[in-house]
Structure 1
Amino acid sequence: MTVTHRVPLLAPSALAQARTSRRWSQYTAAKEYARAAAELNIPAAEPDSLRNSISRWERGEHAPDEHTRQVLRRLYNLTDEELGFTSRPRLAVTEDTAELAARLASAARVDVALIGTFDQQTHALRLQDRTFGAATLLDQMSAHIRQIQGHLDHSMTPAIRVGLARVLADAGALAGWQALDAGATRRAWKHFNRARNAALEAGAPILLAHAIGEQAYALLESSDPHGALDAIRHAAALGSHPPLLTAWLAAAEGEFAAASGNTAEALRAFDRAQKFLPADNTDESLPFLSLNDAHLTRWRGSALARLGNPEAVDDLTRALDTIDQGSFVRALTGLHTDLATAHAVAGDRDQARTHIRVARSLAAQIGSQRLLRRLDRILLPGATGQDL
């Protein structure tokens, strides 16, 4: 009798997993790589040659150089660590001591003006994120977080530490939301924890509530709506928050209640959000929140769509007519995704397909893996699965 010995298969590399999670062949990845390289003004080989290079990178036969890593980070919206690239070797003891001294000296030069500059940089990244998505901002956001965290880790002046911690709480929550949208849930969780710790050091309950509120979405993405509901209620109970933040927390509670299948709780929460939403919904102390009647209507419609409520289509259609489509592209993408869901539940196959096509195109532009996954889960009337 002949005995056949099976050769154990090697687990796919992180780089290969990044590609297959997007359902790309190596040739498709090569074409997308060329597009990302062009955006970064980095030369790229022809697709056939690139496909061979991608195969060698994924098998670990050849290590990508820094320019190649930059393109791969843009392509997959993942960090070097998530792509499986090794970090630089540890420094020798004498070099390590010299580096610590340099970092301490650098942190000692941080003043109130520089903290203000970091704050402005965070807001500039936030505005870009709303319009273009996180895919183009990974390197900038990572460098921004590292710089602030590095100064905080090495600063010994209490007032400066508090200022840096406040900025880091805001930047960390933004980075967490970007990672969550990119489908990098573990990275998002780390950023949200960073934001929470920074908010605690800064003694800033508003920033802490916001960080917890956004982290709750990681629980929702991990199929734990009840945990998300508990987290958002904890955030709301942290103190007396400004009306705009109170409205935002209530609307998030409404979304999580809807995801938990509780229609009555969801509607009560959205009524509470409407009650607290100020007429002047611009609060300079809350630059990370953008909530007005149009956004709240969209949010309520999204929750109703989850519940299969026929009112969802009306709410979402009104929101589509009033939302700033140029400045809030991710919100617009989510709106079309919600409309597709609502029309599918209502049995309107043609309208659902129309909104799916628009949403899919927008989600691809901004690199939103979260919304692309939601689109994949929509079941069209009369179909057994997505049939676009």
Structure 2
Amino acid sequence: MANQLARVRAERGWTQAQLIARLRAAAAQRKVKLPTDESVKRRIAGWENQHKPVSDFYRPLLCDAYRLSAVELGIAGEPAPPSAQPLVVPELAERVTFSRLDGGLVELLHAQTQNIRMLDRRLGGATIYRQAAAHVETLDSLVRYALPGAHREAAADELSQAAALGGWQALDMGLTADAWRLHEIAVAAGRESGETAALAYARAQQAYILLDAGELEPALALVKSGQTHAGRRVSPLLRAWLHAAEGEALAALGRRDAALRALDAATTALPDNAQDDALPYLMLDAGYLARWRGHCLARLGDGDAIDDLTSALGSMGEGRYGRAEVSLRVDLALAFHARGDVTESRTHARRAADLAGRTGSERQRRRIAELLSA
């Protein structure tokens, strides 16, 4: 029977580059090395065109990448005659190697997540996404086979954070299916960890995928779900973030007054000391909140957004946070467009386009294209 690799990849909506990234993540987990991307790409073409068999080396990697069995992928090969099979005790055949986590290992995993996070803020998701995806795969495997206990819960918390970060990168790159899958992992891991903050954050951030897809009411409902789960059990910083996320969903729906009330609630909840070591994934202070308010006003077509956005750009500093600056400049372009200043609008749109090209932000490139064509 012909293999099903071409069909399965098409159903997943994966590019060859996405499959290669998953194969590299599987290879890293199995501690083996792959040749260059071009070499792997030629192999994929050969497999999918049915003229090159899948070798024993690549068969388990493909199974790991697709999370399907060799039989399901049509690459199992011809089974050996029953007489050739050695006698295997069932209990030994299904023996699993469990992860034995400890505090030191969890701290190393945390440090790796934080390094990826810092690089992401400076360089954008396209540069670091492959590393982030491989990190999520490693964490997911460790947590899945970890023995119960506090270290497993701590690792699940790290998995939730890493998957939410990878999911945001995927969304920025226009990989919607990957973004949704990674956020589903983040939500499940947040639930496994028992950390209220992790689950609330992952749920609310997942709403942005729905916003980009035009599913506005479900997006608002998802943010509300995160707020309900959080209640008063999370820090004021996360409560402020959740209020601001609600404001953005309401702004997308055109509910100006409700959006401004939510943003005012975010300002009220924001603590004087906006640094919380327990929430390394949150960057929110008065400057960021001003940018968020400006973004919401820009979505509402309000020229008053310009003051907030200009102030936020000054606080941020050019070149320090690539993706954030792209988003801010797109918002400024929208705000100037709403005011009728086409020249200034196009100036910010072109600068945003240049930055988006460097950071690989397909999400922002779509917004810029709409602006420049207006």
1: CA distance, partners of 2:367 / 2:50: 36
2:334 to 320, 341, 348: 341
1:371 paired to 2:367: no
Corresponding residue for 2:322?
Answer: 329
What amino acid maps onto 2:288 in structure 1? Answer: H
For residues 220-239 of structure 1, what are the structure 2 equivalents within 5 Å?
Answer: 220-238=211-229, 239=231
Corresponding residue for 1:307?
Answer: 300
Gap runs ≥5 in structure 1: 1-9, 20-41, 46-52, 66-79
1:246 to 223, 236, 239: 239
What amino acid maps onto 1:112 in structure 2? Answer: G
RMSD, aligned α-carbons: 3.7
Asked if the contact 1:176–1:192 (Cα under 8 Å) also holds between the matched residues in 2, the reply is yes
Give CA deviations for 1:312-369 in whole Å, capped at 9, x if unaligned: 1111111111114443211111001111111112211111111111111111111111
Asked if the contact 1:111–1:160 (Cα under 8 Å) also holds between the matched residues in 2, the reply is yes
Query: Post-superposition, which runs of at least 4 consecutive aligned residues in structure 1 deviate over 3 A?
Result: 42-45, 59-63, 86-94, 96-103, 324-327
1: CA distance, partners of 2:125 / 2:367: 18
1: CA distance, partners of 2:173 / 2:320: 19
Q: Structure 1 residues 88 and 196, CA, compared in 2 at 3 Å: closer, same or farther?
A: farther
Corresponding residue for 2:273?
Answer: 280
2: CA distance, partners of 1:311 / 1:134: 31
2: CA distance, partners of 1:183 / 1:347: 30
Q: Structure 1 residues 343 and 171, CA, compared in 2 at 3 Å: closer, same or farther?
A: same
Corresponding residue for 2:111?
Answer: 120
Corresponding residue for 1:256?
Answer: 249
Identical-pair percentage = 36
Corresponding residue for 2:152?
Answer: 161
2: CA distance, partners of 1:261 / 1:251: 15
Q: Structure 1 residues 60 and 303, CA, compared in 2 at 3 Å: closer, same or farther?
A: farther
2: CA distance, partners of 1:121 / 1:43: 24
Q: Structure 1 residues 347 and 60, CA, compared in 2 at 3 Å: closer, same or farther?
A: farther
Q: Structure 1 residues 62 and 288, CA, compared in 2 at 3 Å: closer, same or farther?
A: farther
For residues 34-183 of structure 1, what are the structure 2 equivalents within 5 Å?
Answer: 60=49, 89=75, 101=95, 103-104=97-98, 107-108=99-100, 110-183=101-174
2: CA distance, partners of 1:222 / 1:155: 36
1: CA distance, partners of 2:365 / 2:302: 23
**Count of matched residue pairs:** 326
Gap runs ≥5 in structure 2: 1-5, 16-35, 55-64, 67-71, 80-84
1: CA distance, partners of 2:93 / 2:247: 49
In the TM superposition, what is the alpha-carbon distance from 1:113 to its structure 2 partner? 0.8
Corresponding residue for 2:192?
Answer: 201
Q: Structure 1 residues 98 and 217, CA, compared in 2 at 3 Å: closer, same or farther?
A: farther
Q: How high is the TM-score relative to the length of structure 2?
A: 0.77
Q: Structure 1 residues 132 and 97, CA, compared in 2 at 3 Å: closer, same or farther?
A: farther
Corresponding residue for 2:258?
Answer: 265
What amino acid maps onto 1:139 in structure 2? Answer: R
Give CA deviations for 1:174-201 in whole Å, capped at 9, x if unaligned: 1111111111111111111111111111
Q: How high is the TM-score relative to the length of structure 1?
A: 0.74
Q: Structure 1 residues 89 and 329, CA, compared in 2 at 3 Å: closer, same or farther?
A: same
Give CA deviations for 1:106-133 in whole Å, capped at 9, x if unaligned: x13x211101111111111111111111
Q: Structure 1 residues 62 and 313, CA, compared in 2 at 3 Å: closer, same or farther?
A: farther
Asked if the contact 1:247–1:272 (Cα under 8 Å) also holds between the matched residues in 2, the reply is yes
Asked if the contact 1:248–1:273 (Cα under 8 Å) also holds between the matched residues in 2, the reply is yes
Asked if the contact 1:103–1:151 (Cα under 8 Å) also holds between the matched residues in 2, the reply is no
Deviates more, 1:151-160 or 1:357-366: 151-160
Give CA deviations for 1:176-234 in whole Å, capped at 9, x if unaligned: 11111111111111111111111111111110110011101011011022221111122
Q: Structure 1 residues 43 and 116, CA, compared in 2 at 3 Å: closer, same or farther?
A: closer
